[in-house]
Amino acid sequence: MFKKFFSAWENDRMTLRFYQILSVCLVGTLFISIMGTLYVAQNTRVVLVPATLEKSIWVSANTADDNYFTEMAVFFAGYRLNYSPPTVDFQFKNLVKYVAPHASGVLTAELSAIASNIKGKNYSQVFIPAEVRIDNRETHSFIIKGVEKHFVGSQLVDEVGKEYQIVFQMLNGKIFVSGFKDYNGQKAAEAITH
């Protein structure tokens, strides 16, 4: 009888020991899985295939493929350089969503002044991009070149070749515009028109 009791007790102890070891293994596996997930989440490249590109592009936490920056330069130039009195508020409001936090206040004030001027003068502008090239890969600076048409009402008053410099900043995989300025103004116009 004692033998039977001790045998059952030994089986219970062995079963308990087995479950303890299994629990420790499962907790260890869970910990390793969590650490692996955190590592992968910080070092993931997302492969994007936009409809306008014939090849895939990638984006990681602090940088991206040149093709991605090229497409985004055209996208942001559309918001900044194509407007009319009825659309200017919408265009500039959407652009500000993508401005780097450190430049947002200054740019918002600048765009607000430009929008007031556009509405007051019934001024419209269209920018037709022709080329995007890398200015400085390390600082994510790109030059977008094209033709800019200026209208007052529906009357075309000016058509010039222009180049703009767009500087991007990547923060945790999200792209921001940290600089957008006229690049070589008159020189660019002469190069396109001749």
Mean pLDDT of 143-163: 92
- CA angle in degrees (0–180, nearest 5) for 162-112-189: 10
Inform me whether the pLDDT recorded for 14 exceeds 90: no
* Each residue's pLDDT tens digit, 89-134: 999 998 888 888 888 888 888 888 989 989 989 999 999 999 999 9
Q: Sorting pLDDT into bands at 50, 70 and 90, what band is 187?
A: very low
For every residue of the chain, which 3-state class applies, written as one string?
CHHHHHHHHHHHHHHHHHHHHHHHHHHHHHHHHHHHHHHHHHCCCEEECCCCCCCCEEECCCCECHHHHHHHHHHHHHHHHCECCCCHHHHHHHHHCCECHHHHHHHHHHHHHHHHHHHHHCEEEEEEEEEEEEEECCCCEEEEEEEEEEEECCEEEEEEEEEEEEEEEEECCEEEEEEEEECCHHHHHHHHHC
Inform me whether the pLDDT recorded for 165 exceeds 80: yes
Residue 106: per-residue pLDDT? 84
Closest C-alpha among 102, 97, 48 to residue 71: 48
**Cα separation, 27 vs 53, whole angstroms:** 45
- Phi (first) and psi of residue 127, to 5 degrees: -115, 125
Residue 30: per-residue pLDDT? 93
pTM here is 0.66
Higher pLDDT, 118 or 49: 118
* Each residue's pLDDT tens digit, 58-67: 777 778 888 8
C-beta of residue 144 within 8 angstroms of C-beta of residue 188: no
